[in-house]
Each structure stands twice: as structure tokens, then as C-alpha cells.
Amino acid sequence: MVDINQQFGTRKDQLDRQRKALANGYYTKIRSDGLVIAQPRRRDKIAPLKYFLALVVLFFLFKALVLATAGEGTYQSQLNSLSDGTVVERAGAWFLQVDPVTQALSNKVELVLNDDMARL
């Protein structure tokens, strides 16, 4: 009797694991005997990397937009005042410093902004 209960518990645990795996998405597959089997979808391991890269791109776009709208002199003076502050402010000034990528994006943003202003 104990052996039957252990087999039942093992089978129940296996079915619970399969059900949880299928809850994240599945696809169906037809075996050679005609039986339709649901296979769990594999999780995309690269998804966190995509989100991180999107965050980095948005950060550079934000820096370029601020640089284009504020102007290089104003932006640099604000960075200088940040670099004289606390450790956190100095770290922020280091992250926000003008780099070649930000400068290139800022030039493109200025062209778009000036073109839109000329149309108004």
C-alpha cells in the first residue's frame, strides 16, 4: 500500500511540474502515432540582455536630447557644478559627461529640432 501511495505522489509531482512548465507557454507536436503532445516553450535567456541594451540606448538618447536642447555651454556648466558636489553627484557627472556617441546623437537631434522649428 505504501508503494502505491509513493508512486501516486511521484506521478502527481511530475504532473504538477509539467503543468507549471506549460503555463509559461507551449507548442503542440504530433508524434508518429498521431498523438498530439504539448511541449513547453523554452524561456528566452537573452531577454534580460535585450532590456539592458535598450536601457543603455535610451540613456544615450536622453543625454543627446538634453545636450541638444540646453546647449553645450549650459550643459557643461551644469556638469561642472555637479562634479563639485557629493560622491553621488560626481558619479552622475561622470555618467552624464559628453562623449562621442552623445555628441553625434546630439548633432542629429539638433538637425531634427531645427528643421521642425523652421517648419513652424
Chain segment 2-36, per-residue pLDDT in tens: 677 778 888 899 989 988 888 888 889 999 999 99
Q: Mention every residue, 6+ apart, whose C-beta is less than 8 A from residue 92.
A: 82
List the single range of 25-34, 41-50, 60-69, 89-98 with lowest mean pLDDT: 41-50
Helix then strand then coil, in percent of the chain rounded to 5, is 75, 10, 20
How sure is the predictor about 49, in pLDDT bands with cuts at 50, 70 and 90? Answer: confident
Containing H/E element for 26? strand 26-30
Give CA–CA dist 4/33, Å, rounded.
30
**Backbone angles phi and psi of 99, in degrees to 5:** -120, 170
pTM score above 0.85: no
